[in-house]
Amino acid sequence: MITAAAVLVCLVLGALAVFQAFLVLGAPLGRFAWGGQHRVLPVALRIGSVVSIVIYALIAGVVLARADLVSPGVSEAILRTATWVVTGYFFLGIGLNLASRSRPERAVMTPTVALLCALCAVVALG
């Protein structure tokens, strides 16, 4: 169950990374991200999308390490704490996406982040 949850987290994060890459490249998908105020993101938000991709990669590493699918080189205690921090990050993300003024962002990103939160909790409890 933990392995499946970790793999699903990585698949969803991969899809989100592709989405963010499209935003970086100027795709008119801004209504689904960053509050939905821009159809095509300005430079500052494109940089934010690049940072998001890096964060997704770090999160994937934490989740894969906690599921024992990669060797992280850090203690189990640090890994356990990091996994709960990631779970909390996604939990906060649920509220932030619910508060978005963008209906498309609320409709797509809220359930996506809720799924990531639940899956990360499964991994964290494992």
Q: Please write the tens of the pLDDT for every residue from 75-124.
A: 999 999 999 999 999 999 999 999 999 999 999 999 999 999 999 999 99
Cα separation values, 120 from 25, 38, 40, Å: 29, 30, 31
pTM of the full structure: 0.92
* Chain position carrying tokens 């890994």: 79
